[in-house]
């Protein structure tokens, strides 16, 4: 396994800058947290250089999380799309998403650092559930901050976290969504940093989080590249992932960023459509600013106040994005495009009916994007990160498609 | 423009600590914040800190969050903040802006995608034009502040960075070397308005900051975060050369106004009374 956490020419420098000093990333944080971030940075680098740590991490991924996830040739979807679509089945991991990789890495690191408590923020609840799972498994106390709005739309995940022994704190400040949950977790951390580790849920935030999270999720891309070569004898023509904060995407992209012949696409949440202003297409439609400790693309007004994002997918509903994605976009190495709520929900239904796989509504954005790419790239191979499963989104699907009444087939039919 | 160091020097000559008072601009509204801050000046604040309301204030507890949110909900803009600065600075009292970094970086941004980073430059110029003394930057440390340091140095603006109990000696040395005006020592590990700082608790940080400041700079150390009462101000304030050169109070002022939502005059009277109590404290 690659233990450096870097992505070659696209990795961060020692201060956490991507794309050159001052460009993207960095560490815009209260001084009170700098010592903790430095401590984390040093502990992480030492751990990644220690075969005992990396071996234990790999063992947990294999024995506990079900990694490596399979690379699946979605032939019926491909027939429909007009291009060959391969799915990296992160939805089959324990807890149902790629997030388990990140939390197992960070929770192991927490134990190694001698801390006894973890805090986490969560949007859709997937990172919260994954954090609560890792904390339960490794015997750590766990507190999860979740926007009050999200606790309402993802009540089932609140229950999961509670069953796993975590305390879930509804955040009532600001827009009461993911960004405010991050603010509240940071406030907790300022006051509790001696015994507490912050399990950051995405490849965003202050240095070293973007690089640290990447080091734990890059297995997605490294495995997919190897599987692609082993199973099909060639690299894909394009890879695609959904991008909110961007951890599943950066994990996938890391495996292919040094293969110039592979096109890289990130699909952001277009919500009601970028033109409506109700979206979360941060790179596509945002501007450069500083949010949650990093310089990156941000949805903000003229005064630099964060604008509330909108998406049917709680996991993509974030007005910032990991700084490495901003750098990849600025460098022209990856392309970021919006996918609307409607396109994503259609893709969710299509995948369910062609392959018998119900994706998370987040991952459905990547599937929808791949369907669009397929029209531009007929007959080519497109590898999609199916980052999570859709169980948690049945409430959304029920409402969107008018499902749930026996005796009908709902409105999600594709044929 | 008057540097805050002048106010600290005057307090020192009177053998006491300086009182630094904070309120967010636009709370309870723009004119209301001007009236409140002027009342605090008249009742004995030596330095004024004007908060720039921001959507994601990670260093602030519930009290200041609520006030800033109220200001934002009412539509306060960065230009309104500068108008408050101008009105308060006209009293002759050194007036700083306390702001998270993004509103400065974004100041005067042309809409759409822009890679230019002259927000710091534009903000510094308009702050200087308004008579503002400088900035306190709770989420900007000197190692990530080259644009601000350059813009401030060109205009002799105060650069007030924070040090914390968790800061290493190396970082305190770096921070004090970059500072102008004073250094803001956070009295507790936590956000504003939640836990109480004590003289014994903060003494090691003050001592380290003094010891690690550049020789001859004589940089004052103000203590904030966790200070709310006259008794506490008295406990923290410098006596016989030991203690804080300045006592910084924010949430307690905000709470005073929040407690009088419907009676502005009563709110101002309560604000003046709290200022006098604290001003008595720094002289005790």
DSSP bridge partners of B20: B47, B248
C-alpha to C-alpha distance for A56 and A60, rounded to whole angstroms: 6
Tell me if A305 sits within 8 A of A236, measured CB to CB.
no
Closest listed residue to residue A122, CA positions, set A101, A148, A140, A98: A148
| DSSP classification of residue A12 | B
pLDDT at residue A181, as a whole number = 94
How far is CA B272 from each of CA A265, A367, B27, B43, rounded to the nearest angstrom?
A: 59, 62, 16, 5
Distance from CA of B98 to the nearest CA of A (A): 13
Buried b (16+ CB within 10 A) or exposed e, B139-168: bbbbebbebbbebbeeeebbbbbbbbbbbe
Chain B hits for A38, CB-CB cut-off 8 Å, are 168
Neighbours of B220 (CB within 10 A): 26
Cβ within 8 Å, pair B117-A22:
yes
In the residue annotation, B86 being an active-site residue is answered as no
Residues of A with CB under 8 A from a CB of B: 15, 22, 26-36, 38, 173-174, 179-180, 183, 186-187, 190-191, 193, 287-293, 295, 298, 300, 302-306
DSSP bridge partners of A297: A288
- Catalytic: which of A90, A121, A343, A362? A121
Hunting for tokens 């990789």 — which residue is that? A101
Tell me if A57 sits within 8 A of A105, measured CB to CB.
yes
Helix (H) or strand (E) holding A301: none
> Is B114 in CB contact (< 8 Å) with chain A?
yes
Cβ within 8 Å, pair B109-A298:
no
- Catalytic: which of B46, B49, B121, B147? B49
Q: Where are the domains of chain A?
A: 17-63+98-214, 66-96+217-401
DSSP-H helix ranges across B19-139: 30-42, 62-73, 78-89, 101-105, 119-129
Q: Which of B55, B139, B175 sits opposite A30 (nearest CB)?
A: B139
CB proximity list for A382: less than 8 A, separation 6 or greater: A83, A84, A85, A86, A236, A237, A238, A239, A240, A370, A373, A374
C-alpha to C-alpha distance for A337 and A349, rounded to whole angstroms: 21
Percent of chain B past pLDDT 90, that is, above it, reads 85
How far is CA B58 from each of CA A14, A178, A249, A292, rounded to the nearest angstrom?
A: 24, 14, 27, 8
Buried b (16+ CB within 10 A) or exposed e, B221-251: bbbbbbbbebebbbbbbbeeeebbbbbbbbb
> Is B74 in CB contact (< 8 Å) with chain A?
no
CA triplet B259, B261, B266: central angle to 5 degrees? 75
Pairing status of strand B162-163 against strand A294-298: unpaired
A304, A318, A330, best to mutate vs chain B, most B CBs in 10 Å:
A304
Decide whether A17-63+98-214 matches A66-96+217-401 in CATH topology: yes
In the residue annotation, A121 being an active-site residue is answered as yes
Q: Which residues of chain A have pLDDT under 50?
A: 1-5, 413-415
Distance from CA of B190 to the nearest CA of A (A): 4
pLDDT: which is higher, A346 or B115: A346
pLDDT at residue A102, as a whole number = 98
Helix (H) or strand (E) holding B51: strand B47-51
C-alpha to C-alpha distance for A123 and A129, rounded to whole angstroms: 11
B120, B140, B166, best to mutate vs chain A, most A CBs in 10 Å:
B166
B56, B148, B163, best to mutate vs chain A, most A CBs in 10 Å:
B56
Preceding amide of B213 cis, omega within 30: no
Distance from CA of A320 to the nearest CA of B (A): 12
Q: Which of A30, A183, A305 sits opposite B138 (nearest CB)?
A: A30
Task: Give the CATH number of domain A66-96+217-401.
Answer: 3.40.50.1100
For B4-14, how does the pLDDT look when each residue is reduced to its tens digit (9 = 90+)?
999 999 999 99
pLDDT at residue B109, as a whole number = 80
Inter-chain Cβ pairs, chain A and chain B, closer than 8 A: 131
Q: Which of A15, A28, A304 sits opposite B139 (nearest CB)?
A: A28
Hunting for tokens 């032939």 — which residue is that? A75
pLDDT at residue A6, as a whole number = 53
Touching A: B residues 147-176, CB under 8 Å: 161-168, 171, 175
B137, B139, B208, best to mutate vs chain A, most A CBs in 10 Å:
B139
Chain B hits for A147, CB-CB cut-off 8 Å, are none
Closest listed residue to residue A248, CA positions, set A64, A80, A100: A100
The distance of Cα B63 from the centroid of its chain, to the nearest Å, equals 16
Touching A: B residues 224-263, CB under 8 Å: none
Helix (H) or strand (E) holding B7: helix B4-13
The correct answer on CATH 3.30.43.10 for the domain covering A17-63+98-214 is: no
Residue B117: pLDDT over 80: no
Tell me if A129 sits within 8 A of A231, measured CB to CB.
no
Helix (H) or strand (E) holding A286: none
Residue B70: pLDDT over 60: yes
CB proximity list for A339: less than 8 A, separation 6 or greater: A242, A267, A268, A269, A270, A365, A368, A369, A372
What is the DSSP annotation of B123-175?
Answer: HHHHHHHTT--EEE-TT--GGG-HHHHHHHHHTT-EEE-EE-TT--HHHHHHH
Q: Which of B77, B115, B194 sits opposite A288 (nearest CB)?
A: B115
Output the six-digit token pair for B81. 């903040």
C-alpha to C-alpha distance for A220 and A97, rounded to whole angstroms: 11
Closest listed residue to residue A346, CA positions, set A281, A411, A409: A411
Chain B hits for A289, CB-CB cut-off 8 Å, are 102, 105-106
Cβ within 8 Å, pair A31-B141:
yes
CB proximity list for A98: less than 8 A, separation 6 or greater: A90, A217, A220, A247, A248, A251, A385, A387, A388
Domains of chain B: total: 1
pLDDT at residue A2, as a whole number = 44
What is the DSSP annotation of A335-382?
Answer: EEEEEEHHHHHHHHHHHHHHHS--B-HHHHHHHHHHHHHHHHSTT-EE
Residues spanned by the domain of B74? 4-108+116-283
Residues written for chain A: 415
Cβ within 8 Å, pair B102-A298:
yes
pLDDT at residue A410, as a whole number = 60
Which CATH number goes with the domain that contains B272? 3.20.20.70
Q: Which of A15, A36, A290 sits opposite B101 (nearest CB)?
A: A290
C-alpha to C-alpha distance for A101 and A130, rounded to whole angstroms: 9
DSSP bridge partners of A271: A340
């Amino acid at each position: 396994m690659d233990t450096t956490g870097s992505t070659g020419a696209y990795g961060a420098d020692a201060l956490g800058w991507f794309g050159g000093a001052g460009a993207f990333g960095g560490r815009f944080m209260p001084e009170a947290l700098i010592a903790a971030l430095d401590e984390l940075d040093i502990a992480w680098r030492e751990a990644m250089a220690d075969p005992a740590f990396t071996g234990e991490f790999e063992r947990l991924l294999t024995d506990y999380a079900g990694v490596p996830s399979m690379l699946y040739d979605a032939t019926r979807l491909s027939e429909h799309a007009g291009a060959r679509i391969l799915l990296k089945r992160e939805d089959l991991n324990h807890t149902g998403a790629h997030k388990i990789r990140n939390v197992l890495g960070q929770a192991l690191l927490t134990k190694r650092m001698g801390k006894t408590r973890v805090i986490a923020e969560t949007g859709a609840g997937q990172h919260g559930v994954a954090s609560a799972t890792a904390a339960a498994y490794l015997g750590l106390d766990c507190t999860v901050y979740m926007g009050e709005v999200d606790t309402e739309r993802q009540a089932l995940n609140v229950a999961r976290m509670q069953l796993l022994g975590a305390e879930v704190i509804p955040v009532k400040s600001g827009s009461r969504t993911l960004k405010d949950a991050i603010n509240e977790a940071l406030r907790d951390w300022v006051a509790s940093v001696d015994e507490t580790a912050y399990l950051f849920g995405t490849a965003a935030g202050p240095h070293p989080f973007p690089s640290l999270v990447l080091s734990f999720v890059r297995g997605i891309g490294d495995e997919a590249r190897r599987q692609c070569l082993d199973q099909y004898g060639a690299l894909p023509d394009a890879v695609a992932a959904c991008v909110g904060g961007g951890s599943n995407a950066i994990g996938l992209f890391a495996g292919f960023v040094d293969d110039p012949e592979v096109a890289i696409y990130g699909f952001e949440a277009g919500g009601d459509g970028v033109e409506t202003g109700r979206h979360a297409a941060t790179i596509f439609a945002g501007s450069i600013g500083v949010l949650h400790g990093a310089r990156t693309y941000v949805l903000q007004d003229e005064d630099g106040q964060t604008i509330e994002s909108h998406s049917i997918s709680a996991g993509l509903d974030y007005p910032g994005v990991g700084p490495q994605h901003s750098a990849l976009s600025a460098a022209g190495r990856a392309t970021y495009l919006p996918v609307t709520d409607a396109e994503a929900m259609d893709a969710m239904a299509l995948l369910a009916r062609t392959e018998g796989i119900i994706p998370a509504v987040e991952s459905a954005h990547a599937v929808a994007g791949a369907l669009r790419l397929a029209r531009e790239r007929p007959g080519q191979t497109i590898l999609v990160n199916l980052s999570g499963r859709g169980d948690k989104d049945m409430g959304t699907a029920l409402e969107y498609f008018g499902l749930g009444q026996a005796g009908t087939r709902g409105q999600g039919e594709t044929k | 423009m008057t540097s805050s160091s002048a106010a600290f020097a005057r307090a020192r000559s009177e053998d006491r600590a300086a009182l630094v008072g904070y309120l967010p601009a636009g709370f309870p509204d723009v004119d209301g914040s001007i009236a409140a801050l002027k009342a605090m000046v008249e009742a004995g604040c030596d330095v004024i800190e004007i908060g720039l309301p921001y959507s994601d204030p990670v260093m602030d507890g519930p009290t200041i969050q609520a006030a800033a949110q109220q200001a934002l909900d009412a539509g306060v803009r960065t230009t309104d903040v500068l108008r408050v600065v101008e009105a308060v600075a006209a009293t002759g009292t050194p007036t700083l802006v306390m702001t998270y970094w993004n509103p400065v970086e974004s100041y005067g941004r042309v809409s759409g995608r822009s890679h230019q980073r002259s927000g710091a430059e534009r903000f510094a110029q308009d702050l200087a034009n308004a008579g503002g003394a400088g900035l306190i930057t709770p989420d900007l440390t000197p190692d990530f502040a080259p644009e601000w340091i350059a813009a401030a140095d060109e205009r002799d603006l105060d650069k007030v960075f924070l040090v914390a109990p968790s800061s290493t000696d190396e970082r305190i040395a770096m921070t004090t070397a970059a500072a102008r005006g004073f250094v803001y020592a956070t009295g507790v590990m936590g956000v504003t308005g939640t836990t109480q700082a004590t003289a014994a608790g903060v003494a090691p940080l003050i001592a380290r900051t003094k010891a690690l400041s550049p020789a001859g700079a004589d940089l004052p150390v103000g203590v904030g975060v966790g200070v709310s009462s006259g008794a506490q101000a008295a406990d923290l304030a410098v006596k016989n050369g030991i203690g804080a050169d300045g006592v910084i109070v924010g949430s307690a002022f905000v709470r005073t106004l929040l407690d009088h939502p419907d009676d502005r005059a009563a709110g101002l009277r309560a604000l003046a009374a709290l200022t006098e109590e604290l001003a008595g404290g720094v002289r005790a």
